[in-house]
Structure 1
Amino acid sequence: MTDSNGTTAPRQSTGLTVDKMLAIYPREHVEDAIYDRNYEAGRNRTLQRFKDLIAQGVNVESCTKGIQEVMQTTPPSPPVDPDEPNDLDPDVLWRIKMLKYAYREDCDHDPGQLVNLNAVLDAYHRRDLKVVDNEATVWFAGKLTMGPLPDAELKIADYVDKIPAWREKYGAGRVWIERPAKRHIQKLNSTVIPPSDGRLQDVP
């Protein structure tokens, strides 16, 4: 990736990649390091609490074991991605790595879903999309169709009724709701709405 002056932005190089982490640490702890937006600070707080208790003479043996367990079984920081420039906003970089990891082992890639995923990643790379708490955007067929708008105000009915018009304008596609401040990824191959009989059905 190049900056506005046409020069190549420096890449992330210090730290462990996801693959190296998975070879060293339990998967659930690696995923904590990927999905938790404030992972490193939280890990440091845990270590500091153990140290404070030891300094007070409280449960010294168990706290010492706790420190050893944290050091041995959890990554010290989030993984690095050599493919990403390190001049991106830290929250944007966190979200990009989160999205890439969430979909990297999915063998059932839906083409419409991948179109949206790539469009969202491109928007983050161009700095057109930001990570803002409680804010969402709606994408269809790789196009930004709604937002940014307050996440709490976004209802299924707000965009389901627009799908026919989007399909006519952009062709076949899927709906993607980008909620960047959410810790976990919800993979959406389609929008799910309750029909009149109360059952769930897919809107292709």
Structure 2
Amino acid sequence: MNNLFPDYQKISRSSYIVLIGFSSEIETDIYSFKQLFQRNFGYAEKVRSTPHLTMLHFIASKKSIPPIIEVLKNFCAKIKSIHLQFTAFNSFERNKLLFLDLEKQEDLSNISTDLQKEFKLAAPEISIERKKLRPHATIARCPRMKLPQFNDAVEFFKGIPYQKSTYPKSIAIFDQNKRKEEWRYDFENVAWQ
């Protein structure tokens, strides 16, 4: 088998996501909602994950990351200026995902679409998951929870008024296979990492 695929190890690919981080105040609120979910409804996935907005998913080799980082650097000014308005709690019933909804914004959708195009130009070998952007901040994902209990949780959270806004705190590329950030730009401290 090694003779048939001699370069397999050299071209291994990872799954990546481009994430937008929120202000400390919004992060703290979201962590509080995650804890509230656990106290009232038990275990769920994603309750320990860092609050973020996923801009897009892509699959790439390690060598594709430097040109993608350059594309993101060029988009930082646009991304930094996006006004993120949280509107209410909502859910994807099919996935049993509870989230904090963001007001629909053309700017965010346009940037996501433009990023996809620029990523493909910079690194044509990458695969981009083309999904319509539905911006949100995940509170909990509950695949094992019975639907009536999940619906109770959704109704509970929908009863909590929440309307706050923020600007992005950071943008990052996260390697989902290695569970670590590949690159990050912090808007608050204005630093490449």
Same fold (TM over 0.5): no
TM interval, shorter chain, is: under 0.3
Specify the structure having the higher radius of gyration (Cα): 1
Give the structure with the larger helix fraction: 1
TM-score, normalization: structure 1?
0.22
- Larger RCO: 1 or 2 (CA < 8 Å, sep 6+): 2
Give the structure with the larger strand fraction: 2
